[in-house]
Amino acid sequence: MMALDRERAAGAPAEEGGVGALRLLAGPRGGAAEPFAQHRQRLGGPISQVLRGTAPGHLLEAITGSGLRGRGGAGFPAATKLAAALKRGVSGVVVVGNGTETEPAAGKDDLLLRLRPHLVLDGLETVSVATRAERSFLVVPSQAAWRSVTAALDDRPRHGPKVEPVLGPRNFVGGEETALVSWLEGGPARPRYQRQRLLERGWRGRPTLVQNVETLAHLGLVARFGPEWFRTLGTAEEPGTMMVSLSGAVGRPGVYEVPIGIRISSLLEEAGADPAAAALLVGGYFGSWLLPAQVAGAELSRRALAPLGASPGAGVLHLLAAGACGLKEAHLVVDWMARQSAQQCGPCRLGLPALAGAMGDLAQPWARGRDVSDRIWRWSDQVLGRGACRHPDGVVNLIRSTLLAFADELERHRRGHCNGGAPSTLPLPGLG
């Protein structure tokens, strides 16, 4: 790959073992943003210095070699999108850093933008300079993140196109990339039906590259320290670290940075998890449940979780308290998610509320389980893949996982019993 790897890796962020600050969160402790001077000193110079010596082709090689995958949920290879944006003849590219983070149980993008804005800006600049972008947007989830990014931009020398920070929408589907493009055009944050990819036709018709802000932060570090360095943590298939937003029945909830492939149980232990917890929701409100026996040996990677019907998604984990009823909790989430529909597509607008109602039936003791769950399977089949965006698919995933994981609970409900009396801890805020 790159000849300078070894040398470059010398200044790479410190890697402590175990769970904790590894790469993105390495550096100063505390709740303030790392100033540019410190960032530059810690990483061995401004990113502009690195970019001046790196041709776009070399950057693409490094990103390809790193195996970096998107951290916004779907795990798409970053190199594939960059390659499309660098293709000969593609001009007038628009780059969007997606820090919308509308998932209520998530907090990692906000934290990253508040504490390490320069890492994200390094990545955004790297991509913007390489693609010779016309515009470069950075969508942030909160006022605090906006202030942090604005201050960071004043604090650093400008390189490449001017970065435009934008406060993102707060509706759940607003973080979906076509919804975000609409928002950045001044329209509503509603997904669009598009037969072309955004890289063919995005913001005001221009080729648009949307990348999660955590993905960008990793990408900037790969540009500095090279693919071999990047691969020293994580798994061969899914290299690097990932940010995890952990909440629920844990003593120390919050954002953790862990190597991909870490044992989930060691993360939970570190966070002071209740050993008697009922289940773990992995992948947030589009995610899947793991029961304690499954959590015990599971590793946090796409590959390891796939056989369990789960995926790390955007790194949102929620531990369900002992004594909580998974059927009740899932009903609350599905009901909330049904209301988050952009109300454009029939199967989503009508199917999700119907599914939420049926999930509500299952959550009651004396539920006529067999009939209702047959109906849920039928409707979830009908809804899957039929929206303009993936919102209904994600909800269907959670519903199916609920029926599978809590089959015993369902049986108890059928006989008139419910074990769950504990109050819900899942965050379900009022509509945004």
Residues that bind ligand FMN (CB under 6 A): 70-74, 76, 98, 100-102, 173, 175-177, 210-212, 215, 389-391
Q: Is 310 exposed, middle or buried (0-12, 13-18, 19+ CB in 10 A)?
A: buried
Asked if 348 interacts with other proteins (CB under 8 A), we say yes
420's tokens? 């769950």
323's tokens? 């004594």
List own/partner pairs for 11-15 with CB under 8 A and 24 or more apart: 11/42, 11/43, 11/44, 11/224, 11/225, 12/43, 12/221, 12/224, 12/225, 12/229, 13/42, 13/43, 13/221, 15/232, 15/233
**Toward ligand FMN, which CB reaches closer, 166 or 363?**
166
**Least CB distance to ligand FMN at residue 323 (A):** 31
Residues 6-25 interacting with other proteins (rule: CB under 8 A): none
Choices 134-142, 157-165, 234-242, 390-398 (CB under 8 A): range interacting with other proteins: 390-398
- According to DSSP, the β-strands at 254-259 and 288-290 are unpaired
Choices 11-19, 231-239, 251-259, 338-346 (CB under 6 A): range interacting with ligand SF4: 338-346
Residues 178-207 interacting with other proteins (rule: CB under 8 A): 192-193, 195
Among positions 346, 365, 416, 432, the unique one binding other proteins when judged by CB under 8 A: 346
71 binds, among ligand SF4, ligand FMN, other proteins, none (CB under 5 to 8 A by kind): ligand FMN
Residue 125 contacts residue 49 (beta carbons within 8 Å): no
**Least CB distance to ligand SF4 at residue 173 (A):** 4
Measure the CA–CA gap between 293 and 278, rounded to whole angstroms: 10
- Under DSSP, the state recorded for 45 is S
400 binds, among ligand SF4, other proteins, ligand FMN, none (CB under 5 to 8 A by kind): other proteins
- Under DSSP, the state recorded for 25 is S
Choices 4-12, 254-262, 337-345, 421-429 (CB under 6 A): range interacting with ligand SF4: 337-345
How many C-beta neighbours within 10 Å does residue 432 have? Answer: 12
Residue 115 contacts residue 32 (beta carbons within 8 Å): yes
Instruction: Report which of 364, 365, 399, 407 is spatially closest to residue 381, judged by C-alpha positions.
Output: 399
Choices 63-71, 152-160, 254-262, 303-311 (CB under 8 A): range interacting with other proteins: 303-311
How many C-beta neighbours within 10 Å does residue 234 have? Answer: 22
**Toward other proteins, which CB reaches closer, 27 or 394?**
394
Measure the CA–CA gap between 138 and 323, rounded to whole angstroms: 42
**Toward ligand FMN, which CB reaches closer, 355 or 372?**
355
Asked if 303 interacts with other proteins (CB under 8 A), we say no
341 binds, among ligand FMN, other proteins, ligand SF4, none (CB under 5 to 8 A by kind): ligand SF4
299's tokens? 């590793």
Asked if 169 interacts with ligand SF4 (CB under 6 A), we say no
Considering only CA atoms, give the Rg of the chain.
22
Among positions 300, 388, 396, 398, the unique one binding ligand SF4 when judged by CB under 6 A: 388
Measure the CA–CA gap between 105 and 246, rounded to whole angstroms: 8
Instruction: Report which of 139, 151, 144 is spatially closest to residue 114, judged by C-alpha positions.
Output: 144
Asked if 255 interacts with other proteins (CB under 8 A), we say no
Among positions 13, 67, 351, 420, the unique one binding other proteins when judged by CB under 8 A: 351
**Toward ligand SF4, which CB reaches closer, 145 or 345?**
345
Among positions 2, 112, 342, 362, the unique one binding ligand SF4 when judged by CB under 6 A: 342
Give me the residue whose beta carbon is nearest to ligand SF4: 387
User: Which residues are at the interface with other proteins (CB under 8 A)?
Assistant: 73-74, 192-193, 195, 283, 286-288, 305-306, 309-311, 313, 344-348, 350-351, 354, 377-379, 381-388, 390, 393-394, 396-397, 400-401, 403-404, 407-408, 411
